[in-house]
């Protein structure tokens, strides 16, 4: 139970999977991926199976309303129903330097491989710098062979440009080196504000891909309730954003 000076995955509950799909929703541009993944995990009543602590996350603890503290962390949730198996990666923060991101990502991939995972969906926002009433969902895949299957659900390939920064990119890049396959799903978003609308479009597509049903009613409500936490998160992210990470890239 002793954490040392490297990323530490604290398994809280053993849950067996055959071939789960990983869904990553860590904070990034417009919080699009985080909102979508978090909402789905809550609606599905997914089970908390592990917590991730890292010396590469900010050296801070969060003060909770009930008077207690907890470390900044990522949390992993599992969901199983018939032949649908999903593992969600959610959390407060992600590592912000390359060395750190590689260390954390490799630790996570070790764990996901041990769970039997072979496919990863990473979620994010694709910054366009303008407001869009009907944001589209863009995709970028590790392998060409995945694209046709994705296009059937309305995901658009070959239009996104530039680079994918952080966990959404590295889980796919390092995963690919391990022969895992994956797709980054990006909701178009302005980039300068939290975008629940883009998250909704992303959620719809994700539901089809994962063959699950999730109501969207509580999404807006949940965002409002989380506003205080959201403000804190935005501050943290602002502080953490490196000099070369422009809003025009997705994360």
Q: Would residue 43 be called left, alpha or beta, if left means φ above 0 and alpha means ψ between -120 and 50 degrees?
A: alpha
Nearer residue to its own copies within complex by CB, 94 or 198: 94
Give the single-character DSSP code of 177.
Answer: H
Tell whether the torsion through CA atoms of 146, 151, 155 and 157 is positive or negative: positive
Position 19 contacts its own copies (CB under 8 A): no
Determine whether 250 is exposed, middle or buried from the number of CB atoms within 10 Å of its CB (0-12, 13-18, 19+): buried
Beta bridge partners of 81: 84
Tell whether the torsion through CA atoms of 133, 230, 78 and 146 is positive or negative: positive
Torsion angle defined by CA atoms of residues 2, 4, 9 and 11, in that order, rounded to the nearest 10 degrees = -10
**How many residues in total does the chain contain?**
251
Nearer residue to its own copies within complex by CB, 19 or 98: 98
Nearer residue to its own copies within complex by CB, 177 or 192: 177
Under rule CB under 8 A, which residues in 121-160 are in contact with its own copies?
139-144, 147, 157-158, 160
Under rule CB under 8 A, which residues in 31-70 are in contact with its own copies?
53, 55-63, 65-70
Binding-residue pattern over the window 183 to 222 for its own copies, x denoting contact by CB under 8 A:
-x--------------------------------------
Contact residues toward its own copies (CB under 8 A) are 1-5, 10, 53, 55-63, 65-72, 97-99, 101-103, 106, 139-144, 147, 157-158, 160-166, 169-170, 172-174, 176-179, 184, 228, 232, 235-236, 238-240, 243-246, 249
């Amino acid at each position: 139970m002793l954490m040392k000076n490297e990323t530490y995955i604290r398994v809280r509950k053993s849950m067996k999977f055959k071939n789960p799909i990983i869904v990553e929703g860590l904070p990034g541009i417009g919080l699009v991926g985080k909102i979508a993944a978090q909402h789905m995990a809550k609606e599905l009543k997914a089970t908390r199976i592990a917590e991730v602590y890292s010396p590469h996350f900010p050296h801070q603890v969060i003060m909770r309303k009930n008077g207690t503290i907890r470390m900044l962390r990522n949390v992993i949730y599992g969901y199983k129903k018939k032949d649908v198996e999903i593992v969600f990666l959610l959390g407060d923060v992600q590592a912000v330097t390359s060395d750190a991101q590689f260390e954390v990502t490799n630790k996570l991939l070790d764990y996901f491989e041990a769970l039997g995972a072979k496919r990863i969906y990473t979620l994010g926002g694709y910054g366009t710098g303008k407001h869009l009433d009907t944001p589209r969902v863009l995709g970028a895949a590790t392998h060409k062979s995945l694209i046709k299957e994705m296009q059937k659900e309305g995901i658009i390939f070959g239009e996104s440009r530039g680079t994918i920064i952080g966990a959404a990119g590295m889980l796919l890049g390092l995963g690919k080196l391990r022969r895992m396959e994956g797709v980054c799903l990006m909701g178009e978003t302005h980039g300068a504000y939290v975008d629940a609308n883009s998250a909704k479009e992303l959620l719809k597509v994700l539901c089809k891909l994962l063959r699950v049903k999730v109501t969207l009613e509580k999404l807006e409500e949940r965002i409002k309730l989380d506003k205080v936490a959201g403000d804190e998160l935005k501050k943290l992210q602002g502080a953490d954003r490196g000099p070369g990470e422009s809003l025009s890239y997705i994360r």
